[in-house]
Amino acid sequence: MTIILSHISALEFWLSPRKVQPIIVRADIPEKGPSSHERNRFLQRFANQLGTPVHTLTKTPWPSNGPFHHHSCSLFAKGLPLAVACEGVLVCPVELAFVQVATHLPFPEQVRLGFELCGAYSVDRTASGGFFQRKPLTTPQRIVQFACGNASLRGSAKARRALRYIAENAASPAETRIAMSLTLPLAEGGLGLPKAQLNHSLPLGTYARRATGRHYFVCDLFWPDCNVAVEYDSDAVHTGAQRIAADSARRNALSYLDISVITVTRAEYQNRDDFNRVARIIAKHLHKRIRIRDVRFEQRQIHLRKALAAQPTWENRRHAQPLRDHLLSH
């Protein structure tokens, strides 16, 4: 018998730290759920890695039991490309898991999830700085292709809507928060600016290379059509003369490329009024206007900022509802 992790449990697996990439195999969805012996073996293996309930996939409806919640799916007659977590345990692909949770997550949380999956980090409260670096797990294009190719799958339409606002290559949760705060629609508490490219690499010409000793610079957020870059200053990396020199060289090189650079500090982001003022400066450089006509916008923006400041659902589960608690009481 094979257990297939799905929905948010699959996302927990993909977003957890690992030294090697899992092997991918094509397999069919099992007809029924695991036996009592198989469930107990699973609990022993994943007690410290997953939250509850554990979401799994079966071909036919199967009663949920204990910490397991089974979802039936009669699609994918030719099987699925599944990751091997360990013997007898497979995991749904990232793209499928993203679609599966779309019906359960609020829209901003779905977009935030997309940024993380398509970015180079995973949120982890036990890691230094609250996250760790890794390679992107997928791309918006791959998720769109999957969602469009499986339009009858529940959550597909909501996933496609979220993907309009997801940018790839975010390097940190802070970059995701700033990008979402600037580019989500006004109705969701964002400021409605065009989607930016994240961590865009800008090659430098001969003069700029000589001046800076660098062959390229990477901009946190970049709008290539308008040559506008936004840099997030977290106050966490460099200080003093070293930082001043590096920032000066960076500004000079980007100025040589005719790129307008706007800096957003951590203090400016944390203060809503200050951030809105910086956003209007960015909008002016993008030849856009932020037009707020709905009296409910302020409350929506406050709600979005609170949601982005909280730990994401998929990271919080294994701390608030750890699987090991069920093992201890079993």
In a domain, 171, yes or no: no
Band of residue 225 on the pLDDT scale cut at 50, 70, 90: very high
Query: Which residue range is the domain that position 281 belongs to?
Result: 193-289
In a domain, 295, yes or no: no
pLDDT (0 to 100) of residue 238: 46
95 pLDDT more than 90? yes
Residues 203 and 122 in one domain: no
Per-chain mean pLDDT for the chain: 90
Determine the Cα–Cα distance for residues 112 and 285; give it in Å rounded to an integer.
26
Residues 266 and 136 in one domain: no
Q: Are strands 197-203 and 216-223 parallel, antiparallel or unpaired?
A: antiparallel
Determine the Cα–Cα distance for residues 169 and 135; give it in Å rounded to an integer.
9
Residues 117 and 266 in one domain: no
Band of residue 321 on the pLDDT scale cut at 50, 70, 90: confident
Q: Total domain count for the chain?
A: 2
Arithmetic mean of pLDDT, 234-255:
61
pLDDT (0 to 100) of residue 215: 83
| Predicted confidence (pLDDT) per residue in 30-48, tens digit | 998 888 888 888 988 888 8
In a domain, 186, yes or no: no
Residues 200 and 128 in one domain: no
In a domain, 216, yes or no: yes
Arithmetic mean of pLDDT, 287-315:
96
pLDDT (0 to 100) of residue 18: 86
3-state secondary structure of 302: helix
pLDDT (0 to 100) of residue 174: 97
In a domain, 180, yes or no: no
- Beta strands in the chain, from DSSP E residues, in sequence order: 3-5, 24-27, 54-58, 68-72, 80-86, 89-91, 121-123, 131-133, 197-203, 216-223, 228-233, 260-265
134 pLDDT more than 90? yes
223 pLDDT more than 70? yes
Residues 226 and 127 in one domain: no
Residues 253 and 317 in one domain: no
Residues 111 and 216 in one domain: no
More confident: 305 or 218: 305
pLDDT (0 to 100) of residue 33: 87
Determine the Cα–Cα distance for residues 124 and 246; give it in Å rounded to an integer.
29
Residues 108 and 229 in one domain: no
b/e burial code for range 146-161 (CB count within 10 A of at least 16 → b)? bbeebeebebbebbbe
pLDDT (0 to 100) of residue 230: 94
More confident: 188 or 237: 188
In a domain, 296, yes or no: no
In a domain, 174, yes or no: no
Residues 148 and 204 in one domain: no
In a domain, 298, yes or no: no
For residue 285, the domain's CATH number is: 3.40.960
Arithmetic mean of pLDDT, 281-306:
97
Please, are residues 233 and 263 in contact by the beta-carbon 8 Å criterion? yes
Residues 16 and 151 in one domain: yes
Alpha helices, DSSP H, located in 47-155: 94-100, 107-117, 140-149
| Predicted confidence (pLDDT) per residue in 256-277, tens digit | 778 899 999 999 999 999 999 9
More confident: 166 or 213: 166
Selection from 19-23, 61-65, 100-104, 217-221 with the highest mean pLDDT: 100-104
Residues 98 and 135 in one domain: yes
Residues 76 and 142 in one domain: yes
